[in-house]
Amino acid sequence: MEETHIVENKTIWKDEWLEWICGFANAQGGILNVGTADDGTPVGLADIKSLLEKLPNKIINKLGIVSDVNKRTLNGNDYIEIAVHPSNVAITLDGVIYYRSGATNQTLRGEALERFLLSKMGMHWDEMEIPNATIEKDIDREAIDYFLKKAIEEERLPNDSINDDTQTVLKNLHLISDDGNLRIAAIILFGTHPEKYVRNIDFRIGRFISDESDLLFQDIIQGDIIRMADRIMKVLRSKYLVSYIGYKGMKRTEPLEIPEAALREIIYNALIHRLYTGTFVQMKVYNDRVSVWNEGTLPEGFPVEMLMQEHSSRQRNPLIARVFFLAGFVETWGRGIKKIRSSLQGVGLPDPVFEENCGGVRVTIQRPRNIANLGAVVGDDFGDDNLTDNQKLSALDRQMKLDFGDDFGDEKQVYTVILASPEISQPQIAAITRISARTVSRIINRLKSFGYIRREGSDRKGSWICLK
């Protein structure tokens, strides 16, 4: 029998093969053949009689399990077949847990060990209880009300749910154990200070130029995760990404350069699927791209390429995922990535790129190539050849064209960066826009003289005030 994920062949017996038996027992079970070549061909076993007597006791004494140890004969050659049954409890060998994965035998550590032990107990990490936490001191009712309003709006909870007391809400969401203890998911979702119980619950945003060596500024977003996406989007709009002004009919619009629906879906996925015993979620905004990384590997047998295909939703933290579903933030059918792709394609941006990186998953999306020329839309006919060039410009564009002439791209780019980050310095503007420092200084003076900006405070600690 050739080697597979449930078959291992060995020509002779060594006590170290107990590691393979341990790995089979902790996984799906399997067969260890002793006295066979790698392709399964029997090569004979000189001490087979002695091994048939010793191996059952050795397996019981070292691993605490019973395996079937049988003599087999093929083409006149004898060998031993050890049939290992899967165990519903964790099996250790000298204090170490081994696990058969594919054709390899792995030593479980860290996240993999934690996930394995919880699965053997039929639990997920977010179900763990926090005995010393209480509703009175650790749950924020405003976060509960925020969730209830969202869930009612999505018609996933009845209207009268808004009147339920906090304990009833948490019980209905299975966030309180049978013993009356709050589960860790309750603290993460609705906690007043969840960082007291969960280290590195932060979501961190950093502004870089082209790589990790040139950090310009950063923000740390903390608090309950049910409202965290709102806080993140507010910071992204104010400092990191560009919103351009347009109109649909008489209504003014300010869409982000990257569709908010795509960004929110990526943020929700990071919050739901992250490994909360690991480090914080990291969003990095570069000149040309935005990446989001959260710790936690994909499930076994779920390659990263499958994320871009139709797939089922496999949840690391099902209690957290259910609350996000009820709030209408996500679906349960693994359609989130399709939603991201559709949103990006709608504005001409390429598909996101997913990759496993440093024990986690990173998704990267491209920014528009020239944020200075994003263009604002007048009406719903953007790109219509019947519109004049001037009609395709926003009010700001038209004013800049009057003030600075047809070639106002650099002025708009500098103004847009200042608008997004009022505390930014001139060297930082030069780094982001890739315009020389001397030209940036000249543009800023022109923007001042035409009444677009003014400086408030000192050069070192002040900020820009945008007037248009």
Helix 260-273 with 336-346: angle, nearest 10 deg: 160
CATH class of 122-369: alpha beta
pLDDT, residue 212, reads: 81
* d(C-alpha 53, C-alpha 435), whole Å: 80
Where does CATH 3.30.950.30 sit in the chain?
7-108
Q: Is the pLDDT assigned to residue 299 strictly greater than 80? A: no
How large is the average pLDDT for residues 300-329? 79
Q: Is the pLDDT assigned to residue 56 strictly greater than 90? A: yes
Please give the torsion angle defined by the CA atoms of residues 313, 319, 320 and 323, in that order, rounded to the nearest 10 degrees. 90
Confidence of residue 253 (pLDDT cuts 50, 70, 90): low
The residue among 332 and 186 whose pLDDT is bigger is 186
DSSP H or E segment with residue 248:
strand 246-248
Cross-strand bridge partners of residue 293: 282, 362
pLDDT, residue 161, reads: 95
Question: What CATH code would you report for 394-466?
Answer: 1.10.10.10
Where does CATH 3.30.565.60 sit in the chain?
122-369
* d(C-alpha 95, C-alpha 130), whole Å: 27
pLDDT, residue 302, reads: 67
Confidence of residue 379 (pLDDT cuts 50, 70, 90): very low
* d(C-alpha 203, C-alpha 218), whole Å: 11
Give residue-wise pLDDT tens across range 447-466.
999 999 999 988 777 888 98
pLDDT, residue 370, reads: 52
Question: What CATH code would you report for 7-108?
Answer: 3.30.950.30
3-class secondary-structure state, position 242: coil
Residue among 342, 392, 348 nearest 369 (CA): 348
Q: Is the pLDDT assigned to residue 394 strictly greater than 80? A: no
pLDDT, residue 252, reads: 60
* d(C-alpha 223, C-alpha 226), whole Å: 9
Q: Is the pLDDT assigned to residue 167 strictly greater than 80? A: yes
* d(C-alpha 342, C-alpha 336), whole Å: 10
pTM of the model: 0.65
Where does CATH 1.10.10.10 sit in the chain?
394-466
The residue among 243 and 353 whose pLDDT is bigger is 353
Most confident of 169-183, 286-300, 340-354, 399-413: 169-183
Confidence of residue 389 (pLDDT cuts 50, 70, 90): very low
- In the chain, the percentage of residues whose pLDDT exceeds 90 is 54
For 361, left (φ over 0), alpha (ψ -120 to 50), or beta?
beta
The residue among 150 and 309 whose pLDDT is bigger is 150
Give residue-wise pLDDT tens across range 196-216.
999 889 999 999 887 888 788
Give residue-wise pLDDT tens across range 262-298.
999 999 999 999 989 889 999 999 988 999 999 987 7
pLDDT, residue 247, reads: 53
pLDDT, residue 375, reads: 34
Q: Which of 244-253, 270-279, 363-372 has the lowest mean pLDDT?
A: 244-253
pLDDT, residue 386, reads: 40
pLDDT, residue 381, reads: 34
pLDDT, residue 385, reads: 41
Cα–chain-centroid distance for residue 459? Answer: 38
3-class secondary-structure state, position 97: coil
Beta strands per DSSP E along 254-405: 281-285, 289-295, 353-357, 360-366
Which two structure tokens, joined as six digits, stand for 100? 């058969």
How large is the average pLDDT for residues 24-34? 94
For the chain, the distance separating the N- and C-terminal CA atoms, rounded to the nearest angstrom, is: 77
